[in-house]
Chain A
Amino acid sequence: MAGNAVGLGNFVRFPTQVAQNGGGAFMVPYFIALFFLGIPVMWIEWVAGRYGGKYGHGTLGPTYYLMARESVKPRSALWWGVISGMLAFSLTVLLNSYYLHLIGWSAAYSWFSLTGAYFGTNTGDFFSNYLSNYGEIFLFWGITVILLAIAVGQGVSKGIERWVKVMMPLLYIFAILMVGYIFVLGSPIDPNWSTIDGFRFVWSPNWSYLSDHLWGVMLAATGQIFFTLSLGMGIIQNYASYLGPNDDVALSGIATVSLNEFAEVVLGGSIAIPLATAYAPKIVPPDVLAKGKSEALAWIGHKFGLGFSYTSLPNAFVSMGDAGRIFGFLWFLLLWFAGFTSAIAMYNYLVALLEEDLNIKRKVGTWVVFVIYLIMGLPVIYISGYMDQLDAWVSFQLTLLALFDILVAVYLFKPDNFWRELHEGAWMTVPGWYKPIILYIAPILLALPLIGTFKSFVSGRIGIAPWTAIIVMFIIGAIESYYAIKRKYGEELEKNEVIVKV
C-alpha cells in the first residue's frame, strides 16, 4: 500500500502546490487537513472498503449503496451509491488523463539526463520546448500507457509488486541523498539566492497571503492531502475490499499516512523548492526576481504548473557534472516507476469496476480503459493550460468525494456502526476524541473550501474543454454506477426493502 501511496504526488505535485499557494501559507492548512481530514478519511475509506469486500464489492457505487441502506430505504440509498460511484469513476479517469503524462515526462527526463539533453540550457526554456514538441510527448506518454495496459492485462501486477520492494526503498535513499546535497549546495549561481531560502519559503507561515487567499489555499491543501494519500478516488476502498473481516485497518491506515508524509513533507518539500530558489536567477525574468523570492517561486509555479519539478531538478544534476547524467537518469527512472505503480492501482480499479459491475472480461476491460485513457489524455497535449485547470478541479472533486465518504460511510452507515467497524480486528484503539472530529469538524473543514471556491470554477477558472471532459465522465460514471447497483440489487430496489444481508 505504501508503494502505491508514494509517487509523483510527493515529488512533483506537492512542491508545485506549495509554490503556487504562498509557501508557508500553504503549509498551515496542509497540516490542519492532514490531522483533521487525511487521517480520519483514511480510516473511513479502509472501513468502507473492507465492508464492501464482505459483500464481494471492490467498487464505490455498490459499497456506498450498502452502507447508505443502514439509514435510508434502498431506493434512496441507490442515489447515494450512484453519486459516490460517479464521483469515483470520473475522478479516476480525469486524474489519470494528466497523471500518465507526468509519468511520461519522468520517462522523458530520464532519457534527457542520460543523453545530457538539458545540460547547458535554461531548464525553463528546455521544458517549454519539450511541451511544444508533440511527437516527443506522445512517444513517452504512449509508451507509458501501453506498458500499463500490458502490466494490468497480463496480470503481472504481482511481479511488479516484487520490484516495488526494491525500487521504493531505493527512491527513499536517493531522495535522502538529494536532500543532503541540497543542504550543502548553498548559492550555486547568485549569492542572494540559496537553497536555504527555499526552506525558509516553505517553513515561514505567510499569514497575510493566507488571509487574502483563504479558500483557494485551503482547497489546494485539502486536495493535496487527498491526492497524495490516494483518498477520495475509490482506490483505498478497492484495496481494502481484499482484506479479511478481522484484518486491522486502524493502525494500517496511520502507517500508510505517516510513510507517505515522510516522503512528502520531509523529502518532497526539501528538493524541488530549494533548488528552484537557488536557480531562480537562471529561469525567472529580472523584473519578477526584483520583487522577491516568494514572487519568483510563484512565477515558476504558475508559468510551468506541474512542470515545476522538471524545471528545477535538472539544475542539480547539471551541477554534478558527468555523474549528474547517471544520477539524473536513475532519479527520474525511480520517479517514473513510483508513478507507474500508483497508476497500476488506479488502472486496476477501473478494470475491476468493468469486471465486477458490468461483467466485462478482464482482458477486454483492460483495453477499454486503455482507449479511454488515450482519448482523455489527448487534450493534455494539444490544449494549453488544460492540465493545470483539470488539476485544480481534481482538488475540488477529491474534497467533494471525501465529504461523501463522511456522509455515507459514517452518517448514513451510522456513527456507532462505523466506530465498531473501525475497531474490528484493530491493532490500536483510536482515541475517543477523534469521534467528534470525524462527525463535526471534518465535514465543516471539507464544506468550507468547497463553498468558498465553487463560484470561481463556474465563472471561468477552468475552460470549456476541461468542463466537457468532466461532464461527460460524470454522465458515464452515473450510468455505470446506476446499472451496477440495479443489476445486483434489483429485487431489493423493486420491493424497496433490505433483502441481501451478510
Chain B
Amino acid sequence: MGSWIIYMLTAWFAIFALMGWSIGRLLSAEKAQGS
C-alpha cells in the first residue's frame, strides 16, 4: 500500500473523529440543556 493512502486515510479518520466528537458532544449538551 502506498504511503499516500495511509496519509489520506489518517487525515480522513482525524476529520471523522473530530466531527463525531464535536457533534456528539454538542447534541448531548443540547439534550441536557433541554431536559
Given A199-B8, A204-B4, the answer on whether A251 and B26 have CB atoms closer than 8 Å is yes
- Cα distance A205–B5 when bound, in Å? 12
Given A248-B29, A258-B15, A262-B16, the answer on whether A203 and B5 have CB atoms closer than 8 Å is yes
Question: Measured between C-beta atoms, what is the minimum distance from B25 to chain A in Å?
Answer: 6
Q: Is the CB of B2 within 8 A of A258?
A: no
Instruction: Digitize B13-25: 1 where CB-to-A-CB distance is under 8 Å, 0 elsewhere.
Output: 0011011001101
A378 interface hit (Cβ, 8 Å): no
Closest to B3 in A: A204
Among A410-444, those with CB < 8 Å from B are 427-428
Instruction: Digitize A454-485: 1 where CB-to-B-CB distance is under 8 Å, 0 elsewhere.
Output: 00000000000000000000000000000000
Q: B29 to chain A: which residues have CB within 8 Å? A: 248, 251, 427
Q: Is the CB of B19 within 8 A of A427?
A: no
Q: Is the CB of B19 within 8 A of A262?
A: yes
Q: Is the CB of B19 within 8 A of A258?
A: yes
Total cross-chain contacts (CB, 8 A): 53
A200 interface hit (Cβ, 8 Å): yes
Given A203-B4, A203-B8, A265-B11, the answer on whether A258 and B25 have CB atoms closer than 8 Å is no
Question: Measured between C-beta atoms, what is the minimum distance from A198 to chain B in Å?
Answer: 11
Question: Measured between C-beta atoms, what is the minimum distance from A201 to chain B in Å?
Answer: 9
Pick the most buried of B4, B8, B16: most chain A CB atoms within 10 A of its CB. B8
Q: B11 to chain A: which residues have CB within 8 Å? A: 27, 31, 203, 265
- Cα distance A252–B4 when bound, in Å? 32
- Cα distance A214–B19 when bound, in Å? 30
Partner of A258, one of B4, B5, B22: B22
A24 interface hit (Cβ, 8 Å): yes
Given A248-B29, A251-B25, the answer on whether A265 and B15 have CB atoms closer than 8 Å is yes
A255 interface hit (Cβ, 8 Å): yes
Q: B12 to chain A: which residues have CB within 8 Å? A: 265-266
Q: Is the CB of A259 within 8 A of B25?
A: no
Q: Is the CB of B22 within 8 A of A266?
A: no
Question: Measured between C-beta atoms, what is the minimum distance from B29 to chain A in Å?
Answer: 4
Q: Is the CB of A200 within 8 A of B25?
A: no
A391 interface hit (Cβ, 8 Å): no
Question: Measured between C-beta atoms, what is the minimum distance from A98 to chain B in Å?
Answer: 28
Given A24-B4, A203-B8, the answer on whether A255 and B22 have CB atoms closer than 8 Å is yes
- Cα distance A51–B24 when bound, in Å? 27
Question: Measured between C-beta atoms, what is the minimum distance from A427 to chain B in Å?
Answer: 4
Q: Is the CB of B4 within 8 A of A199?
A: yes
Q: B4 to chain A: which residues have CB within 8 Å? A: 24, 199-200, 203-204
Q: Is the CB of B15 within 8 A of A254?
A: no
A261 interface hit (Cβ, 8 Å): yes
Given A31-B11, A199-B8, the answer on whether A258 and B18 have CB atoms closer than 8 Å is yes
Given A24-B4, A199-B8, the answer on whether A251 and B19 have CB atoms closer than 8 Å is no
Closest to A252 in B: B26
Q: Is the CB of B26 within 8 A of A427?
A: yes
Q: A204 to chain B: which residues have CB within 8 Å? A: 4, 7
Q: Is the CB of A262 within 8 A of B22?
A: no
- Cα distance A259–B22 when bound, in Å? 9
Q: Is the CB of A203 within 8 A of B7?
A: yes
Q: Is the CB of A261 within 8 A of B15?
A: yes
Q: B19 to chain A: which residues have CB within 8 Å? A: 255, 258-259, 261-262
Q: B5 to chain A: which residues have CB within 8 Å? A: 199, 203
Pick the most buried of B7, B22, B26: most chain A CB atoms within 10 A of its CB. B22
Q: Is the CB of A255 within 8 A of B26?
A: yes
Q: B16 to chain A: which residues have CB within 8 Å? A: 262, 266
Closest to B25 in A: A251
- Cα distance A258–B12 when bound, in Å? 11
Q: A258 to chain B: which residues have CB within 8 Å? A: 15, 18-19, 22-23
- Cα distance A266–B11 when bound, in Å? 9
Q: B2 to chain A: which residues have CB within 8 Å? A: 200
Question: Measured between C-beta atoms, what is the minimum distance from A431 to chain B in Å?
Answer: 13
Q: Is the CB of B15 within 8 A of A255?
A: no
- Cα distance A31–B4 when bound, in Å? 15
Q: A261-B15, A266-B15 are in contact. List 10 more A-B contacts (CB 8 A).
A: A27-B11, A199-B8, A200-B4, A203-B7, A204-B4, A251-B22, A251-B25, A251-B26, A251-B29, A265-B11
Q: Give me the 3 closest cross-chain CB pairs, A-B, nearest first.
A: A258-B19, A255-B22, A203-B4
Q: Would you mind naming 8 contact pairs between A and B with Cβ atoms under 8 Å apart?
A: A202-B8, A203-B7, A203-B11, A252-B26, A254-B18, A255-B22, A257-B18, A265-B15
* A→B interface (CB under 8 Å): 24, 27, 31, 199-200, 202-205, 248, 251-252, 254-255, 257-259, 261-262, 265-266, 427-428
